[in-house]
Amino acid sequence: MTMDSPIPLAIVGVGKIARDQHLPSISRTPAFALRAAVSRNAEVDGVQNFTDIEACLAARPDVKAVALCLPPEPRFAAAITALEAGCHVLLEKPPGATLGETDVLADLAREKGVTIFATWHSRFAPAVQPAKAFLADRAIRKVTITWREDVRRWHPGQGWVWEPAGFGVFDPGINALSILTEILPDEALLRAARLEVPENAATPIGVTMTMGIAGGGYEIDADFDWRQEGPQTWEIAAETDGGLMSLTGGGKTMAVDGKVVSDEPEAEYDGIYKRFADLIEAGESDMDMRPLRLVADACLLGRRVAVEPFHE
């Protein structure tokens, strides 16, 4: 691949995230050229449209990369199809409905000699790398994650978030865990979790997780909540020997002892497509499952508590 010959790409799943984020970022990334779109009931202007991925890949053997923006459950079969056809694959988050699936995909990509990239968009927020650089040199004493938003505002009418594969409040919470596992110099290990599950739901509306590191150096507390009205909070704070580092706005702004040291415009999906191109160029994959594994460990080890039914 050179910049002179962009990689022909197909997008699969043309919903809100595809229109708001993927399509604009693809058009701004010179390494890719959108050639086809796959959707059961939507179309993308200016490219060939299909209703299923098999038909798309059969008709367009020029397509060499596929961005999968489907929900986790149908995504697995689509990823198998794309990898079997020898395409590089980009997965929206979460990368699968189970950990088992993600291992099968990583193995198949290796066997086929193609790139697979499990994206965690929050890792591409502008202050994440500055926060990582700050923590690399510091003695950490305590980390606190506060991720509180209003499910009625962000998932109106989306009953699937309360079904088993919908992850509940882990859907936003996994964004925090994807930042945590990126910026922390140590591996975060789950010690205990409490899952508050509405009586009429299968997934939690509130979660607290207590994590530690091997050797027990410091504690990491996480608080995910979907019942927050008014201002929304997406913050990670770390007490260190170099001051209190806070990452706010979901990774947009970094401050130390209250003084802002990084606050750049958001460009998460441009960063994702840049990284996808770099991985393909290098012949590498990126399937970091630590955020999903922490969620699975919280479900494995966590204590569930029934709370009042949720009604929209």
Binding residues for a copy of itself (CB under 8 A): 76, 80, 97-101, 103-104, 108, 164-165, 187-190, 192, 197, 202, 214-215, 290, 293-297, 299-304
Residue 34 or 190: the one with the smaller Cβ distance to a copy of itself is 190
Tokens found for residue 233: 């909070």
Residue 6 or 94: the one with the smaller Cβ distance to a copy of itself is 94
Residue 196 or 268: the one with the smaller Cβ distance to a copy of itself is 196
Active-site residue numbers? 93
Alpha-carbon span 116 to 273, nearest angstrom: 12
Tokens found for residue 72: 């986790």
Q: Least separation, in Å, of the C-beta of 231 and a copy of itself? A: 31
Q: Report the candidate in 182, 184, 205 with the shortest Cα–Cα distance to residue 194.
A: 205
Q: Least separation, in Å, of the C-beta of 22 and a copy of itself? A: 25
Q: Least separation, in Å, of the C-beta of 179 and a copy of itself? A: 17
Q: Least separation, in Å, of the C-beta of 261 and a copy of itself? A: 31
Q: Least separation, in Å, of the C-beta of 302 and a copy of itself? A: 6
Residue 114 or 197: the one with the smaller Cβ distance to a copy of itself is 197
Tokens found for residue 134: 């700050």
Residue 52 or 263: the one with the smaller Cβ distance to a copy of itself is 52
